[in-house]
Amino acid sequence: MSEFVELNFGPQHPSTHGVLRLKAKLDGEIIRELEPVIGYLHRDAEKLCELTFYADNLILFDRMDYVGSMLMESGYLEAAEKILSIDPPERAQWIRVVMNELSRIAAHLVWAGAFGLDLGMLTPFFYCFAERDKILDIFTEICGTRQETNYMSIGGVYQDITPEIMDHILEFTETFPKRLEEIYKLFVKNDVFISRNKGIGVLDRETAIDYGVTGPMLRASGVNYDVRKAKPYLVYDKVNFEVPVSYKGDNLARFLVRFEELRQSVKIVREAVKKIPDGPHFNPKAKKPMMIRLRGDGEYYARTESAKGEFGVYIVGDGGVKPYRVRVRSPTFKNLSVLPVLAKDQMIADMVAISGTLDLVFGEIDR
């Protein structure tokens, strides 16, 4: 019987993207067995949701995927508004699409920068975060906060979008594509980057579906599934965009799919900002003092496409002002569960590259 060396990796380690602990059994430099240990950021948001009003729960969702908080907000509201029978007006839906896509760009830029760091590239990190800061400046203008925005609310959005902000967003969509191609070249023109990612961590279609993997990871494995196309929510059926799919399933494929998504998101933002109709940005049925008195009944499962994959929110209401049960389908939780399969019989250094392409955000995994 051969003997393995046990290696503890994390929970405080720069390349684990948060507080992930990995227990590996090593045969030389090859990983034979890998066990992720999670829960270091756990605060049981699902329980906290049961204790507060429907309107107040929004801030808990901000803190799930904290790099793309608008996506989390609209994911929760997709379910909560149906439970409370409140429809957001058309203008609010368009504003939400713009904010969702800006948030997706911000989230993917964090991933790209951190992925570079995992592979020992420092430069792209600064490029990515400089661009991300411009989006956060737009968020500051529109709601006063950079990350945990709490901008959307039941019945619409909390503040109306002004023509100046729309100009700033359009200006961003003009300058960003050029910078994006620069960042892209920093990665793909680097031979070391290509050789460390091409053919590494291949995830085949059957395994991906079996483990419940969604989002860019699933699309990189050859499944054309994007909730924005499959079951359009908000006004995603009225904007033009394409869903990138790769059939290789390796690290490089996941990288390329995410970069193509960045380009598509810019396209959506540019189109949606111009199409924002006039009208109210808020449904008066859900105005401020009334908001916490709204009663929800029935069950609803809403799925939305977050930056990481299919973000599902399942709410069970019992006719009260607080939800009876809230369940979150966290895409990164499922994506991480496939890491032991991907990292088996790989080198330690490759495992770091693979976990970099999973796009882990621990606020969402541990909830």
Partner 1 sequence: MKEQLGESVSAVNGKDGIMVHTVAKERLFEFMKEMKEKGFDSLSLITGVDRKDYLEVVYHLHNFATDEYVEVKTTTDNGVVPSLVSLWSSARWDEREEYDLMGIKFEGHENLKRIFLPENWVGHPLRKDYNLKNIQYINMDKDGEDYATFDPGDGW
In the window 190-209, what residues touch partner 1 (CB under 8 A)? 207, 209
Q: Are 139 and 151 in contact (CB under 8 A)?
A: yes
Question: How many residues lie near partner 1 (CB under 8 A)?
Answer: 36
- H or E segment at 150? none
In the window 216-275, what residues touch partner 1 (CB under 8 A)? 223, 225, 230-231
Asked if 364 is part of the footprint of partner 1 (rule: CB under 8 A), the reply reads no
Peptide bond into 11 cis (omega under 30): yes
Stretch that binds partner 1, among 153-161, 181-189, 272-280, 306-314 (CB under 8 A): 306-314
Stretch that binds partner 1, among 69-77, 127-135, 167-175, 310-318 (CB under 8 A): 310-318
Q: Shortest approach of partner 1 to residue 55 CB, angstroms?
A: 19
Cβ neighbours of residue 72 under 8 Å, at least 6 residues apart?
A: 61, 62, 64, 65, 306, 311, 364
Three-state DSSP state, 115: helix
Question: Among positive and negative, which fits the CA dihedral 331, 35, 21, 7?
Answer: negative
Residue from 120, 299, 320, 344 binding partner 1 (CB under 8 A): 299
Q: Closer to partner 1 at the Cβ: 231 or 293?
A: 231
In the window 115-144, what residues touch partner 1 (CB under 8 A)? none
Q: Are 342 and 36 in contact (CB under 8 A)?
A: no
Q: Are 96 and 273 in contact (CB under 8 A)?
A: no
- Residue whose C-alpha is closest to residue 168's, from 236, 100, 98, 234: 98
Residue from 59, 188, 301, 347 binding partner 1 (CB under 8 A): 301
Residue from 177, 212, 222, 280 binding partner 1 (CB under 8 A): 212
Q: Closer to partner 1 at the Cβ: 33 or 271?
A: 33
Pairing of strands 325-329, 297-305: unpaired
Token reading at 195: 């050789």
Stretch that binds partner 1, among 59-67, 131-139, 160-168, 294-302 (CB under 8 A): 294-302
Q: Shortest approach of partner 1 to residue 354 CB, angstroms?
A: 17
Please tell me the distance from the alpha carbon of residue 15 to that of residue 290, in angstroms, as a whole number.
46
Please tell me the distance from the alpha carbon of residue 99 to that of residue 300, in angstroms, as a whole number.
24
Cβ neighbours of residue 55 under 8 Å, at least 6 residues apart?
A: 153, 154, 286, 291, 292, 294
Residue from 136, 300, 321, 347 binding partner 1 (CB under 8 A): 300
Residue from 5, 7, 8, 123 binding partner 1 (CB under 8 A): 8
Residue from 13, 82, 168, 285 binding partner 1 (CB under 8 A): 82
Q: Closer to partner 1 at the Cβ: 29 or 299?
A: 299
Stretch that binds partner 1, among 100-108, 279-287, 301-309, 353-361 (CB under 8 A): 301-309
C-alpha distance from residue 300 to each of 61, 165, 261 (Å): 17, 34, 28
- H or E segment at 87? none
- Residue whose C-alpha is closest to residue 309's, from 80, 40, 65, 95: 65
In the window 25-64, what residues touch partner 1 (CB under 8 A)? 38-39, 42, 44, 46-47
DSSP conformational letter for 326: E
In the window 320-339, what residues touch partner 1 (CB under 8 A)? 324-325, 327, 329, 333-334, 337
Stretch that binds partner 1, among 135-143, 210-218, 238-246, 285-293 (CB under 8 A): 210-218
Q: Which residues bind partner 1 (CB under 8 A)?
A: 8, 38-39, 42, 44, 46-47, 82-83, 207, 209-212, 223, 225, 230-231, 298-303, 310, 312, 314, 316, 324-325, 327, 329, 333-334, 337, 366
